[in-house]
Amino acid sequence: MSGEKSVRLNKYISETGVCSRRDADKWIEAGRVTLNGAPAQLGHRVAECDEVRIDGELIGPKKRAIYIALNKPVGITCTTEPQVEGNIIAFVGHAQRIFPVGRLDKDSEGLILLTNDGDIVNEILRSENEHEKEYIVSVNRPITELSLGMLASGVKIMGVKTKPCKVVRIDPHTFRMILTQGLNRQIRRMCSALGYRVQRLKRVRIIDIDLGSLRTGEWRYLSEPEVAGLLRR
């Protein structure tokens, strides 16, 4: 459906808080979305009078935006799939439908954001924006200055060389790493390529949002300045 007040279907879905635009496209392609009773297609536009359903369930207008910071424990999986034991949505237990911004490995801990704002998800995850994410990493044996320098300059994993990053030693086994990209299990793969095994991996910052004093397993709403900082990007 087209018109002056229409929006793209994936944007409409993301604004209801069901999922991100990226996931909405996947759901449309998978045939899970209908528009006015007919299977929806990528690129369809939606007006106020249109009816959109996902898996037969009617979705409504945009909900109040929610932005949450969670200190994720080890063992929690960053998925919205309810059948996955220990999924992050059940762990948080929020009354509204929210989803994680990106991922943090099941074996990793620390800061992860959750929201119902699909637009901010795309903005944060878009690799060309080079948003910083900061980690504290502990490995199984003392790490050399040479290895720290190699991590900083880039390591070849999965057939590509990682982007240069900031690496600072904390103690013989531990260092701080600031990345601007998010390849799958990137830090673990980088360390493994140099002969180290990650024993603890904790994310402590995403852009300007710090983990701070938030204890493991706890979550909080982002402050107004933190939300404003995200929305400016």
Instruction: Write out 83-106 in H/E/C secondary structure.
Output: CCCCEHHHHHCCCCCCEECCCCCC
**Cβ contacts of residue 148 below 8 Å, gap of 6+?**
167, 169, 175
In which region does residue 224 sit, left (phi positive, over 0), alpha (psi from -120 to 50) or beta (all else)?
alpha
Mean of pLDDT over the chain: 91
CATH number of 67-126+213-231, picked from 1.10.760.10, 3.10.450.50, 3.30.70.580, 3.90.800.10? 3.30.70.580
Please list the residue range(s) of the chain that carry CATH number 3.10.290.10: 7-58
- Structure token pair of residue 83: 């059948």
Is there a contact between 13 and 24 (Cβ–Cβ < 8 Å)?
Answer: yes
Is there a contact between 181 and 161 (Cβ–Cβ < 8 Å)?
Answer: no
Please list the residue range(s) of the chain that carry CATH number 3.30.70.1560: 132-206
- Residue 154: pLDDT above 50? yes
CATH number of 7-58: 3.10.290.10
Please list the residue range(s) of the chain that carry CATH number 3.30.70.580: 67-126+213-231
Active site residues: 105
Residue 62 pLDDT: 67
**What CATH class has 132-206?**
alpha beta
Task: Give dist(CA 196, CA 46) in Å, integer.
Answer: 51
- Mapped onto helix, strand or coil, the DSSP state of residue 215 is coil
H/E element holding 204?
A: strand 198-206
Cα first-last separation, the chain: 30
> For the segment 7-48, what is each residue's pLDDT rounded down to a tens digit?
899 989 988 878 888 899 999 999 999 999 999 999 899 987
> For the segment 165-222, what is each residue's pLDDT rounded down to a tens digit?
999 999 999 999 999 988 999 999 999 999 999 999 999 999 999 999 999 999 999 9
Burial class (CB in 10 A: 0-12, 13-18, 19+), 215: exposed
Give residue for tokens 């990493």: 137
pTM of the model: 0.76
Q: What is the DSSP code (8-state) at residue 50?
A: -
- Residue 1: pLDDT above 70? no
